[in-house]
Amino acid sequence: MNANQHVLIIGFVWPEPNSSAAGGRMVQLISIFKKQGFEVTFASPAMDSDFMVDLESLGVTKKSIALNCSSFDVFVKKLNPTIVLFDRFMIEEQFGWRVAENCPNALRLLDTEDLHCLRLARQKAFKEKRSFSTDDLLVEDVAKREIASILRCDMSLMIAEYEMELLQTVFKIDSNLLYYLPLLLEPIEDSTIQNLPTFEERNDFVFIGNFLHEPNWNAVQYLKETIWPLIRKQMPEAVLNVYGAYPSQKVVQLNNVKEGFLVKGRAENAQEVVKNARIVLAPLRFGAGIKGKLVEAMQCGTPSITTTIGAESMCGELLWNGFIADDVQVFAAKAVELYQDKTLWLKAQENGFEIIEKRYLISLFKDDFVKHILKIQTHLKQHRLHNFMGSLLQHHTLTSTKYMSRWIEEKNRKGE
């Protein structure tokens, strides 16, 4: 047991495991820390939401904090955590220097969720109708901020192998600062598999994804305008159910009963929705990280059709649980084939279970992850000594971000 360890997680938002993969991942991390006997406090400057997880039921202390306010300094100094986990680089920018100043011996971890600069550079290339190149990352403003944040931290948790590789080859980040930790899942019991709806019991295609996430909104537009008409041409009675948290009016307006394109909004139980569908469609044209919707499809025994970007870093050398296609005609044809061919469908389902078992089980990662944290803590001085660029950035951040924040705080105090 490690009862003397106190983890402070500073969240960009309060975790919503039923709204996004990011929320699910945060709950997984909390679970690892709690199982090790670590004390956990979760703090965030975000407003409460109706869909946030009940942190107290997880044995976690909840604390609301303010941006650009020295009340955080008082709070963190008193708490004196041994580990601080920043949820995304924007949170490290806001609070990292305060943690470094008030708790210099705390191990600073960054959970990247996905590489924001990669997602944005791909999105920009897509909007400009050109191919993405890794050189695009070097001119992306967000990359400068995100890489600085990674360098300032003692360790960054990476969810995708491709992103680890990019950081090391394009940005020359030392591998000692990176740690591969994908989505972490419990094994699927045989009894669970046996109780899943059968091929015959399942109906319709489904898309599911948080609409605040631009790649999801773009994928739904792509389905509506290009892919779904091709599928309906071959299967005139086909139905696509579109689910997702936070649908805007522009999403809802895509609903068309005549075309079998049904926009349902937030799913009360995402797993139930995916479990009862026969195929998941995820034609993502840009994005980064691991796609929670596709992992969820595998857990539910639901084959999927996605793109190269959708499947990136997800299955390693293993076979996909369905098909990967970037060409619209192929995408539509494979969707129809997989929907109608039971033998093909069962094999795809099996592939999904194998991917989870060999690549995402929590048991494959948790012990090594905790061991790695404790090892860095033991040699923290040495670890930081070898991260000169990080020390340099920390030095300059403390004299720039710090004074900008102090200025905002003073301005707020005067009520200007």
Q: pLDDT averaged over the chain?
A: 94
Residue 304 near residue 335, CB atoms below 8 Å? no
- At 3, the pLDDT band (50, 70, 90 cuts) reads low
Average pLDDT over residues 360-365: 96
- At 401, the pLDDT band (50, 70, 90 cuts) reads low
pLDDT tens profile 256-272: 999 999 999 989 898 99
For the ranges 17-31, 35-49, 221-235, 288-302, which has the lowest average pLDDT? 17-31
Give the span between the Cα atoms of 179 and 299, in whole angstroms. Answer: 25
Average pLDDT over residues 122-130: 96
What integer pLDDT is reported at residue 339 of this predicted model? 98
304-306 and 279-282 strand pairing: parallel
What integer pLDDT is reported at residue 200 of this predicted model? 98
For the ranges 210-214, 283-287, 311-315, which has the lowest average pLDDT? 210-214
The architecture of the domain spanning 190-360 is 3-Layer(aba) Sandwich (3.40)
- At 399, the pLDDT band (50, 70, 90 cuts) reads low
- At 245, the pLDDT band (50, 70, 90 cuts) reads confident
- At 411, the pLDDT band (50, 70, 90 cuts) reads confident
In this structure, which amino acid lies at residue 189? Answer: E
Average pLDDT over residues 44-50: 93
> For the chain, what are the domain ranges?
6-184+363-414, 190-360
Q: Is the torsion defined by CA of 111, 115, 117, 120 positive or negative?
A: negative
b/e burial code for range 42-62 (CB count within 10 A of at least 16 → b):
bbbbeeeeebbbebeeeebeb
Q: Is the torsion defined by CA of 31, 34, 38, 44 positive or negative?
A: positive
DSSP state of 188: P
What integer pLDDT is reported at residue 398 of this predicted model? 63
Average pLDDT over residues 335-361: 98
- Give the tokens for residue 154: 């003692």
What integer pLDDT is reported at residue 396 of this predicted model? 72
What percent of the chain stands above pLDDT 70?
A: 97
pLDDT tens profile 16-43: 987 777 888 999 999 999 999 999 999 9
Look at residues 376, 369, 375 and name the one whose alpha carbon lies nearest to residue 32. Answer: 369
- Return the ∠ at Cα 99 (arms to 96 and 104), rounded to 5°: 120
Give the span between the Cα atoms of 84 and 308, in whole angstroms. Answer: 35
Please tell me the pTM assigned to this model.
Answer: 0.91
Give the span between the Cα atoms of 111 and 7, in whole angstroms. Answer: 13
Average pLDDT over residues 306-328: 97
What integer pLDDT is reported at residue 1 of this predicted model? 45
Higher pLDDT, 210 or 175: 175
Whether the per-residue pLDDT at 403 is higher than 80: the answer is no
Q: Do domains 6-184+363-414 and 190-360 have the same CATH topology?
A: yes
6-184+363-414: what fold?
A: Rossmann fold (3.40.50)
- At 404, the pLDDT band (50, 70, 90 cuts) reads confident
- Give the tokens for residue 56: 């107290």
Whether the per-residue pLDDT at 275 is higher than 70: the answer is yes
Average pLDDT over residues 33-56: 94
Residue 301 near residue 326, CB atoms below 8 Å? no
Output the CA–CA distances (angstroms, integers) from residue 78 to 51, 67, 102, 136, in the order listed: 30, 18, 9, 43
What backbone phi and psi angles, to 5 degrees, belong to 365? -125, -30
* SS3 call for 101: helix
- At 186, the pLDDT band (50, 70, 90 cuts) reads very high
Give the span between the Cα atoms of 190 and 174, in whole angstroms. Answer: 41
Look at residues 179, 187, 128, 132 and name the one whose alpha carbon lies nearest to residue 158. Answer: 179
Question: What angle, 0 to 180 degrees and rounded to 10, lies between the N-to-C axes of helices 141-152 and 388-414?
Answer: 110
Phi-psi category of 245—alpha, beta or left, where left has phi over 0 and alpha has psi -120 to 50?
beta
Whether the per-residue pLDDT at 12 is higher than 90: the answer is yes
What percent of the chain stands above pLDDT 90?
A: 84
Find all residues with CB under 8 Å of 243, minimum gap 6, and list them: 206, 207, 208, 209, 264, 265, 266, 267, 270, 273
Query: DSSP labels for 145-159?
Result: HHHHHHHHSSEEEES
Average pLDDT over residues 130-152: 95
